[in-house]
Amino acid sequence: MKQVLPHIIHPSQGGFIHKRMISDNILLATDILGCFNHKDKLKYLCAKFDITKAFDMVSREFLYKRLEDKGFPSLFISWIKACTSNVHFSICINGVLEGYFNSTSGIRQGCPLSPYLFCIIMDGLSSLFDLATSNNSLQGIKAGNCEVSHLMFADDLLVFSTATTANAHTIKSILMDFAAVSGLNVNPNKSSILISKNTMMAEEICNILNVQQSFSPMKYLGLPIFYKKLRSCDFQPLLQKITTLLDG
């Protein structure tokens, strides 16, 4: 599967795919945010969405359908079903394990196969974004010769578009449609959005997407990103974390 995924997973997905690196997502996100400062009339948004308990909540039926859509043979899919459907849990009460019960959703955390399966699941969301941009119901941000609507690293999702209420409604619809079939819902309390300065509809966009607007650098994959030049103080939390790790 490791050799196959680079050929069938959307280029926006940078997590767990051979020869795709986390730094690529960070650099590309930084370049796209640079468009916020262009002296044109367009206003932009960058929304970071947190997926609630992604590995635990995903629909297995949706996973099997995605594997089928990607062309995996029936025998292989039956192996995946065997690996994912026979999961049992036991509850520890006062230090004693009591009983077992079956799980009805999710994929195994810690299993080396799970990250690859999750990429196949999230690729369904990329298909929805691509469909929206192809029929012009969503306008991404043009970076060079391409139009970027989203970036992913496993379940870390960044969405880019021009800052309009129409685009906000489209993004909301995409996320709701994906949640309905996949079981993966956005946690608004851990999500945020950057919007170009002086955007008249900023508050309405935030209300549509049910996220808080951020006026300071947003943390993405462990590093701060922003449409303004970053200051040394923006990196202090990261430096402090590194110092703590080095001190043991």
Q: What is the residue extent of each domain of the chain?
A: 4-247
Name the average pLDDT for the chain.
93
146 pLDDT higher than 90: no
Distance (Å, rounded) from C-alpha 191 to C-alpha 178? 17
Predicted confidence at residue 222, as pLDDT, reads 92
CB burial string 69-107: b at 16+ within 10 A, e below: eeebeeeebeebeeebeeeeeeeeeeeeeeeeeeeebbb
Q: Does the structure show a pLDDT above 90 at 92? A: no
pLDDT tens readout for residues 24-63: 999 999 999 999 988 778 899 999 999 998 898 999 999 9
pLDDT at residue 15 above 80? yes
- Nearest residue to 10 (alpha-carbon basis) of 147, 161, 119: 119
Between 125 and 38, the more confident residue is 125
Structure pTM? 0.91
Q: Is 138 helix (H, G, I), strand (E, B) or coil?
A: coil
Share of the chain above pLDDT 70, in %: 99
| 68 — pLDDT class (breaks 50, 70, 90) | very high
Distance of CA 184 to the CA centre of its chain: 11
21-45 burial code (b ≥16 CB/10 A, e <16): eeeebbebbbebbebbeeeeeebbb
Assign 8 a pLDDT band (cuts: 50, 70, 90). very high
% of the chain surpassing 90 pLDDT: 75
* Nearest alpha-carbon partner for 33 in 231, 237, 224, 236: 224
Average pLDDT in the 58-80 region? 96
Looking at residue 61, its amino acid is E
Which alpha helices (DSSP H) does the chain contain, by range? 5-8, 22-33, 54-57, 60-69, 74-85, 114-134, 165-182, 202-209, 236-247
- Would you call 109 helix, strand, or coil by DSSP? coil
Q: Check whether 86 has a pLDDT greater than 90.
A: no
pLDDT of residue 105: 87
In the predicted structure, residue 89 carries a pLDDT above the cut 80: no
What is the arithmetic mean of pLDDT over 14-25? Answer: 95
Alpha-carbon 101 to chain mean position = 30
CA distance 120 to 66: 7
Confidence at residue 248, expressed as pLDDT on a 0 to 100 scale: 75
pLDDT value of position 28? 94
Distance CA(56)–CA(244), nearest Å, equals 31
Residues 169-209 have pLDDT tens digits of 999 999 999 999 999 999 999 999 999 999 999 999 999 99
Which are the contacts of 87, defined by CB distance < 8 A and separation ≥ 6? 102, 103, 106, 108
**Residue 94: per-residue pLDDT:** 85
Give the residue carrying structure tokens 């209420």.
165
Q: What is the gyration radius of the CA atoms in the chain, in angstroms? A: 20
Q: What pLDDT, on the 0 to 100 scale, is given for residue 102?
A: 77
